[in-house]
C-alpha cells in the first residue's frame, strides 16, 4: 500500500485528474475517505465505467459500445481491463479515445 507522499500515489492522482478532464465523473460508492470510486463517461459511441477499489488489485474498467437498439443481454463489451489503480487509470486515459 502506498504511503501518502509516494510517487505511485502521486501518479495515480494525476491519472485520476486526467480521467476527469477527459469526461469521467467519479463518485464515492462507500463511506470514508478511502472508499471505492465509480467513474462513468458517456461518449458518442461508448459508455466507459471505471471501478477503483483502492490502490492495489481489485480495480477494473469496462468499455461498452452504444447502440440505438435494445441489445439482449446488455451492451457488447469492446474492451476491459483489471488490475491495480495505476494500470486501470492508465488504460482508460491513454488507450480509450473519447470519440
Residuewise pLDDT in 10s, the chain (99 residues):
455 678 888 998 999 999 999 999 999 998 887 889 999 999 989 999 999 998 777 899 999 988 777 777 777 889 999 999 999 999 999 999 886
Write down the pLDDT at residue 2.
55
Check residue 4 and give its pLDDT.
63
pLDDT of residue 52: 95
Round to whole Å and give the CA distance between 87 and 91: 6
User: What was the pLDDT predicted at 90?
Assistant: 96
Question: CB of 91 within 8 A of CB of 83?
Answer: no
Measuring CA to CA, how many Å separate 44 from each of 10, 16, 33, 58?
A: 31, 22, 33, 28
* Separation CA 18–CA 3 (nearest Å): 21
Amino acid at each position: 500500500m502506498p504511503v501518502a507522499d509516494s510517487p505511485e500515489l502521486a501518479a495515480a492522482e494525476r491519472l485520476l485528474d486526467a480521467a476527469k478532464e477527459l469526461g469521467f465523473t467519479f463518485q464515492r460508492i462507500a463511506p470514508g475517505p478511502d472508499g471505492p470510486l465509480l467513474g462513468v463517461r458517456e461518449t458518442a459511441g461508448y459508455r466507459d465505467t471505471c471501478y477503483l477499489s483502492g490502490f492495489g488489485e481489485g480495480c477494473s474498467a469496462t468499455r461498452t459500445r452504444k447502440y440505438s437498439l435494445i441489445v439482449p443481454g446488455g451492451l457488447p463489451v469492446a474492451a476491459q481491463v483489471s488490475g491495480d489503480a495505476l494500470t486501470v487509470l492508465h488504460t482508460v486515459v491513454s488507450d480509450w479515445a473519447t470519440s
